[in-house]
Amino acid sequence: MKHRFFDFQTLPPLDRYKLLSGSVLPRPIALVTSVDAAGHPNAAPFSFFGVLSHDPPVIALGIENRPDGSRKDTARNIDETGEFTVHIPNVALLRQVEICAAQYSPGVNELDLADLPSVAGQAVGCPRITTAPVALECKLKTKVELGSARQIVIGEVVGLFVRADAVNDRLHIDPRIIDAIGRLGGPAYASTRDQLVTGQ
């Protein structure tokens, strides 16, 4: 098998992004809700996202800054309130995820634009999208500033909602019912409908 080597110390940022986002896949999508200090809601998806630990229960979000270097609403809201909710979207929510991914002016309510029904959070003050099969309510644990391009937000999961028919008494979750989507690159996505089972 023949490979090509790319020296990341010499590549411009956009080329590094294309190679990383095209190599590490499928990437799970975090559809994040947050509120600003005045209580205005925001919803935005992020595919630089993952679970880091179960003890303590910790997830990480990579939030890219805007082209002018300013922070996106999600990052600013988390700074102001210390809270956010991560939803795992399913195939049925794909179009609404893409609506939330567009660039809007601060203060625009993406939940309304995407017609996403929500209720008040239980352990945090962020709205929970009721059509998402999973929601992780998080409190800010720490963050890492990565220069002017991006910050890593580390959140501790303080509560989790999951579709009742997707989890059994042993707390095993059925990925077929969750029907989650993952980012491949550009407009391409994968879903947990496609499974390779080893038999172990």
Q: For residue 190, is it within any domain? A: no
- Whole-number Å distance between alpha carbons of 132 and 33: 12
Q: What is the pLDDT of residues 137-187, one digit of tens each?
A: 999 999 998 877 889 999 999 999 999 999 999 999 999 999 999 999 888
Residue written as token pair 């210390």: 82
Q: What is the CATH number of the domain that holds 168?
A: 2.30.110.10
Query: Which pTM value belongs to this model?
Result: 0.94
pLDDT at residue 120 in the model: 97
> Domain span at residue 41?
27-184
Q: For residue 179, is it within any domain? A: yes
Q: For residue 136, is it within any domain? A: yes
Q: What radius of gyration, in Å, describes the C-alpha atoms of the chain?
A: 17
Regions in the chain scoring below 70 on pLDDT: 200
Phi, psi of 146 (to 5 degrees): -110, 70
191 and 183 Cβ atoms separated by less than 8 Å = no
- Whole-number Å distance between alpha carbons of 151 and 71: 9
Phi, psi of 187 (to 5 degrees): -90, 10
Q: For residue 8, is it within any domain? A: no
**Domain total in the chain:** 1
pLDDT at residue 149 in the model: 81
C-alpha count within 13 angstroms, C-beta hemisphere, residue 56: 13
Q: For residue 103, is it within any domain? A: yes
Q: For residue 9, is it within any domain? A: no
- Whole-number Å distance between alpha carbons of 84 and 73: 12
Q: For residue 3, is it within any domain? A: no
Q: For residue 198, is it within any domain? A: no
- Whole-number Å distance between alpha carbons of 63 and 194: 28
105 by Cβ neighbours in 10 Å (0-12 / 13-18 / 19+) ranks as: exposed
